[in-house]
Structure 1
Amino acid sequence: MSGIGILRRLTPTTKCVTNVVLKSRKAPASFFHSSPDSTVEVHSQEEEVVIALGSNVGNRLNNFDEALQLMRRSGIDIMRHGCLYETEPAYVTEQPRFLNSAIRGVTKLGPHELLGVLKKIEKDMGRTGGIRYGPRPIDLDILLYGKHRIHSETLIVPHERIWERPFVMAPLVDLLGSNVDSDVVACWHSYSIHPGGIFESWEKLGGQSLIGKDGMKRVLPVGNSLWDWSVKTSVMGILNVTPDSFSDGGKYQSVEDAVSQARMMILQGADIIDIGAQSTRPMASRISPEEELDRLIPVLETILKMPEAEGKLLSVDTFYSQVASEAVSKGAHFVNDVSGGLLDSKMLDVVAELKVPYVAMHMRGNPSTMQNSENLQYDDVCKDVASELCVRVQDAELAGIPAWKIIIDPGIGFSKKVEHNLDILMGLPTIRTEIARKSLAVSHAPLLIGPSRKRFLGDICSRSAASDRDPATVASVTMGVLGGANIVRVHNVKDNVDAARLCDAMIERRASFA
């Protein structure tokens, strides 16, 4: 990985503070007055920390959400989240599967004070002594604490078994970027048992080849279920209950027509139905949240009652937090926001409280201004989109939406020229690589594309009517899936389901030769 080369340049000049804390009063006075094994700790400097999370008892997703909330309340500011992994138990194998992840944050708590806080959270959430490595509702371990090495009777940092545990290493790597972004991170790499740092240690364990195997899956939580989006490309059917959408405005305004269209898309193979009640085409007039809800909720409620909808996912396409909140309360599974939280300042906080997945899309401006000349200026569209998406996701994480609940969308057709859309379709791997420079977790997130019937296809193929752009849509979807898209958002479900299946078969065949 490119980050390893940078690490080797940084490490020799990076000074790591090494504090060996024993049962003694000889620890550095600047760090401790005395150790908690026999003393009172004095520490006020803000330190960057990594904390691992695990759970295999009760509602594991709720356990994670509660633990994150309690950590924030206890003086730990969470900055980044790893991906979410479902893993086979280690050491004691006769127990349920675990969920594992990790967070990167900052705190003014001293290391033993932090340990005490985490142990209290574990106890408050119902963890008792039990069997070592046995079942537990929550397990919180300090993996890294600033630039400090700590060794006492109650705490060893870096955690002594990091390097042998894939279920710890995977989320730890997620919290980093392929570029070393600080002296603290360079110091963390220097703790590795391998000269190439944490990245090399991860590769020695098996690295990305371990993901997707029976023992370790990267998953996204939806409701009380875990979605492994890597198994196949998911097809999202577009249901516009609007009078003015560019392709099918006015066709599905009645509840009966909308539900009939949803049923047909499901029977044709749609995995997700994305319901939108406000047009976001260029220059579309904005309606109020109340009007949007009046259009949306009756359709949503009726679809949810359909037998055909069982096992399918429903997303709400909105940039209003009020609409998102009401739709989720009625049963929508996640929120698809074309603005990435920029058009409603409450959106990210509301989605965090809703505890549902969030699609963060790239767009500049709003539907009325997104095609203005100033919003169409890019130095390198793939790199610029990746950078701006990272900012949106970082804001989402700071608001409390974990990276493991985020889906990214480069926003084909939104504040893009024809050539920009083509560059994005061809450059999805570049977008992931650029995101990985800042956050490997976000680079692993499900990637959604929505080229369906967009104007750029009509411009290229001389098809003025949106309904005539389905063959071009299939071609663009094919390019996107082969480039790494996990979800395709389309009007014509039938043809694009076939395209996605063929692409999946080719990808699987290609992998068999690797």
Structure 2
Amino acid sequence: MKISSSNNLLCKKIRHVFGGISPLGSLSAIGQLFSFCNSAQTSFPESLIEVHSPEEEVVIALGSNVGNRIENFNRALQMMKKAGIKVKAHAQLYETAPAYVTDQPFFLNSAVRAITKLGPHALLSALKEIEKDLGRTKGIRYGPRPIDLDILFYGRIKVASDTLIIPHKNIWERPFVLAPLVDLIGLKAKDDTVACWHSLTGKAGSIFGAWEKLGGEHLIGTEGMKRVFPIGNSLLDWSKRIHVMGVLNLTPDSFSDGGQYISVDDAVAQVRLMISEGADMIDIGAQSTRPGAKRVSSEEELSRILPVLEAVRHIPEAQDKILSVDTFDAKVAYEAVKNGVDVVNDVSGGRLDSNMFSTVADLEVPYILMHMRGNPSTMQNDENTTYGDVCKEVADELCLQIKNAESYGIPAWRIITDPGLGFSKTLDQNMELLGGLPAVRQGLAATCVAASHGPILIGPSRKSFLGKICGRVKANERDPATIAAVTAGVLGGANIVRVHNVKDNLDAVKICNALSKKTAKLK
């Protein structure tokens, strides 16, 4: 008997594919249990079928609706790593209404692409053990559970045994499975493995067609399905409205407000003001990133930040606000989070400290990954400001860093992308980028679909390119220009705006929110 194999699909040991199960006695039984993607055929002896690759790419769905759902996901990912399941990409998070048994809490759903040497049944056993360790019991079918781990795809094979069916048989009726799956595989088949997954489905229109048939992107934001972002102890539905981040610089030399908030009292007063004006987030920085700025030591940065954090944490107005630290230093990020910060905002996107990705992964906090070439001292030189298509190249370079971050264990569902206005861009490039945010998101979607479905932050506030256009030399005279830039960015798809003047920019954001709601009703 011959078993089919496809394109560059190497032979693998069936003994490996079974995950340690003894070889079956007949090829007909194996033929019923496994099928491979098409074309080139390979013959195997009856007593032992050998096929070769030591690793397989798999897709695993995650679900939880009992206890701390995001913590359940975090622990499951840690246990998967220990079990020999190396995650390479993560989908976004989706909060969804329960299916089948509807009288239970909402679920949190996602999925991951991973590499493993475990065969399908050994993989199933490993996932079941993780479920057990996280407190899952038999319970009622489709009922509440702290964790649910399902194998959606395993390499380029179908499995049909008494205990395991791959592809998972209920994918096609479940939007809470298809949405994360599309995050992982994209909107078109970009490689042989994904093409094979489509062919294994045996469905007209395949995975994309099934997602569109259920409603596709129109489902997102409905009562039964929301993309959410974990910050602190809450899940933020960032699609509801634009969020405003207020800037607090504790530096003596920042381009806009350097030296104004050196004392703790002055810093706290500014935080109170920004919160009273409507800020959702406060971004605290103690290292200037203006062009030409010199790097200060971790100790100097922390000496500026920690006393202010200690004071801000104890003011009542800040209790429900999100605090972020603006740093490209992993040690500073670590200490700031341990002292109450919720988000790490890294202008270097992980390029200036080799420990940043592993640190943020261990901290399990959201990460703002910004595009920049070089460092603050070199970012504006000719080499770092040379682009062909600035929107495409910024998206491509962001994707590269996002993939690196994910490989260290920072899930896409915790990443906010920032195209880096004013960093390693000329005036014309900044304007092209500001007006081209849809192209940036589209560029992300080409290789990092999950990231393209996540929040985008922009920070045009008082930047020099605005001053050059408007003839405003002093940074604090650029607020009207900032309002115009924020408006353009929000209408282009930005979800978070980072500004010095919260009050006036919030008014602009409110108009954009109202306009978006009105436009949505007319569609």
Deviation at 1:16, TM superposition (A): 11
Q: Residues 262-306 of structure 1: CA distance to partner in whole angstroms, max 9, x if unpaired? A: 100000010000000110000011100100000001111111111
Taking the aligned partners of 1:356 and 1:28, their CA distance within structure 2 comes to 51
Tell me which residue corresponds to 2:282: 273
User: Which moved further from structure 2: 181-190 or 63-72?
Assistant: 181-190
The structure 2 residue matched to 1:354, chosen from 350, 359, 363, is 363
The structure 2 residue matched to 1:250, chosen from 247, 259, 262, is 259
* Root mean square deviation of aligned Cα: 2.5
The structure 2 residue matched to 1:219, chosen from 228, 236, 239, is 228
Tell me which residue corresponds to 1:365: 374
The structure 2 residue matched to 1:327, chosen from 322, 336, 361, is 336
Tell me which residue corresponds to 2:26: 26
The structure 1 residue matched to 2:398, chosen from 373, 389, 397, is 389
Tell me which residue corresponds to 1:131: 140
Q: Residues 46-75 of structure 1: CA distance to partner in whole angstroms, max 9, x if unpaired? A: 111000001111111111000001101111
In the alignment, residue 461 of structure 1 is paired with which amino acid? C
Kept in 1, the 8 Å contact 2:33–2:161? The answer is: no
TM-score (norm 2): 0.91
Q: Does 1:490 align with 2:499?
A: yes
Give SS of 1:195's match. coil
Taking the aligned partners of 1:127 and 1:156, their CA distance within structure 2 comes to 21
Q: Residues 76-121 of structure 1: CA distance to partner in whole angstroms, max 9, x if unpaired? A: 1100000001111111111111110000011111111111110111
Q: Within 5 Å, give how 1:39-188 maps onto structure 2.
A: 45-188=54-197
Taking the aligned partners of 1:376 and 1:186, their CA distance within structure 2 comes to 38
| Cα 1:27–1:168 shift into 2, 3 Å | farther
The runs of 5 or more residues in structure 2 that have no matched partner are: 1-5, 35-46
| Cα 1:157–1:40 shift into 2, 3 Å | farther
Tell me which residue corresponds to 1:455: 464
Tell me which residue corresponds to 2:310: 301
Kept in 2, the 8 Å contact 1:241–1:252? The answer is: yes
Taking the aligned partners of 2:27 and 2:84, their CA distance within structure 1 comes to 24
Taking the aligned partners of 1:16 and 1:148, their CA distance within structure 2 comes to 12
Q: Residues 419-472 of structure 1: CA distance to partner in whole angstroms, max 9, x if unpaired? A: 111011111011111110112111011000000000000111111000110000
Q: Residues 26-62 of structure 1: CA distance to partner in whole angstroms, max 9, x if unpaired? A: 358999999xxxx999876311100000111111111
In the alignment, residue 26 of structure 1 is paired with which amino acid? S
Give SS of 1:175's match. helix
Taking the aligned partners of 1:33 and 1:194, their CA distance within structure 2 comes to 20
Q: Does 1:377 align with 2:391?
A: no
Taking the aligned partners of 2:102 and 2:498, their CA distance within structure 1 comes to 40
Give SS of 1:160's match. coil
Q: Does 1:239 align with 2:248?
A: yes
| Cα 1:104–1:401 shift into 2, 3 Å | same
In the alignment, residue 155 of structure 1 is paired with which amino acid? L
Tell me which residue corresponds to 2:209: 200
Give SS of 2:478's match. helix
In the alignment, residue 25 of structure 2 is paired with which amino acid? R
| Cα 1:420–1:348 shift into 2, 3 Å | same
In the alignment, residue 25 of structure 1 is paired with which amino acid? G
Taking the aligned partners of 1:408 and 1:384, their CA distance within structure 2 comes to 14
| Cα 1:32–1:339 shift into 2, 3 Å | farther
Taking the aligned partners of 2:79 and 2:27, their CA distance within structure 1 comes to 30
In the alignment, residue 418 of structure 1 is paired with which amino acid? L
Kept in 1, the 8 Å contact 2:434–2:489? The answer is: yes
Give SS of 1:484's match. coil
Deviation at 1:192, TM superposition (A): 3.8
Deviation at 1:17, TM superposition (A): 9.7
Taking the aligned partners of 1:132 and 1:179, their CA distance within structure 2 comes to 34
| Cα 1:52–1:17 shift into 2, 3 Å | farther
Q: Residues 481-509 of structure 1: CA distance to partner in whole angstroms, max 9, x if unpaired? A: 00000000000101000000000111111
Kept in 1, the 8 Å contact 2:186–2:446? The answer is: yes
Kept in 1, the 8 Å contact 2:462–2:479? The answer is: yes
| Cα 1:300–1:40 shift into 2, 3 Å | farther
Give SS of 1:345's match. coil
Residue identity over aligned pairs, in percent, reads 61
Tell me which residue corresponds to 1:7: none
| Cα 1:14–1:194 shift into 2, 3 Å | farther
Q: Does 1:433 align with 2:442?
A: yes
Give SS of 1:242's match. coil
| Cα 1:69–1:101 shift into 2, 3 Å | same
Deviation at 1:190, TM superposition (A): 2.1
| Cα 1:253–1:81 shift into 2, 3 Å | same
Give SS of 2:98's match. coil
Q: Residues 216-249 of structure 1: CA distance to partner in whole angstroms, max 9, x if unpaired? A: 1100111221011111100000000110000000
Kept in 2, the 8 Å contact 1:142–1:159? The answer is: yes
The structure 2 residue matched to 1:478, chosen from 482, 487, 506, is 487
Kept in 2, the 8 Å contact 1:278–1:292? The answer is: yes
Tell me which residue corresponds to 1:317: 326
TM-score (norm 1): 0.93
The runs of 5 or more residues in structure 1 that have no matched partner are: 1-11
| Cα 1:341–1:31 shift into 2, 3 Å | farther
In the alignment, residue 69 of structure 2 is paired with which amino acid? R
Taking the aligned partners of 1:434 and 1:27, their CA distance within structure 2 comes to 47
Taking the aligned partners of 2:506 and 2:408, their CA distance within structure 1 comes to 35
Taking the aligned partners of 2:190 and 2:117, their CA distance within structure 1 comes to 21
| Cα 1:382–1:336 shift into 2, 3 Å | same
Kept in 2, the 8 Å contact 1:17–1:149? The answer is: no
Tell me which residue corresponds to 2:346: 337
In the alignment, residue 520 of structure 2 is paired with which amino acid? A
Taking the aligned partners of 2:31 and 2:80, their CA distance within structure 1 comes to 23
Give SS of 1:101's match. strand
| Cα 1:40–1:275 shift into 2, 3 Å | farther
| Cα 1:115–1:456 shift into 2, 3 Å | same
